Amino acid sequence: MLMCHVKGCATDNFPLRIEDAELEQVEVEFNEDFMRRMINKIEWGAFVQTAFALGVDQLPATVPENIDTEFLQRIHRVAMETKLKEGKMICNGCKHVYPVTDGIPNMLLQETEV
Ligand SMILES: [Zn+2]
């Protein structure tokens, strides 16, 4: 997830604020089981906040009780198919700027983290 890794930075270091973002849509095969697992693992509040800041989607503040396929597809589109191509990620805690120049694998997380 988008968290500051500067040594000693422990407060307000998550999620990183994104500025000057240039987004890119890619096509990734939808995997329902994977998305279901992912939803249970991500910091939902941070995810919603980041998606909103990027203007990607308006997501509910809490995870719905009944997660249906349509909802999972929506999350898939945001988390897996939206990439940050160019921009800056800024830590609210220590103000460290992480420039993004040639894209990061996913907007919000790496598959290996799930
Ligand atoms: Zn920091």
CA 88 to ligand 1 centroid distance, Å = 13
Selection from 93, 92, 87, 13 nearest residue 4 by Cα: 13
CA 99 to ligand 1 centroid distance, Å = 14
- pLDDT reported for residue 28: 94
CA 65 to ligand 1 centroid distance, Å = 34
- pLDDT reported for residue 102: 78
CA 18 to ligand 1 centroid distance, Å = 13
- pLDDT reported for residue 36: 94
Selection from 82, 87, 90 nearest residue 17 by Cα: 90
Selection from 73, 93, 107, 91 nearest residue 17 by Cα: 91
Q: In angstroms, rounded to a whole number, what is the distance separating the alpha carbons of residues 101 and 60?
A: 30
Residue 112 DSSP one-character state: G
- pLDDT tens for residues 45-97? 888 988 888 887 779 999 999 999 999 999 999 989 988 889 988 899 999 88
Q: Read off the pLDDT of each residue in 15-19 and give the average, rounded to a whole number.
A: 87
Q: How far is CA 9 from the centre of its chain?
A: 20
- pLDDT reported for residue 104: 65
- pLDDT reported for residue 108: 55
- pLDDT tens for residues 33-47? 999 999 988 889 888
CA 74 to ligand 1 centroid distance, Å = 30
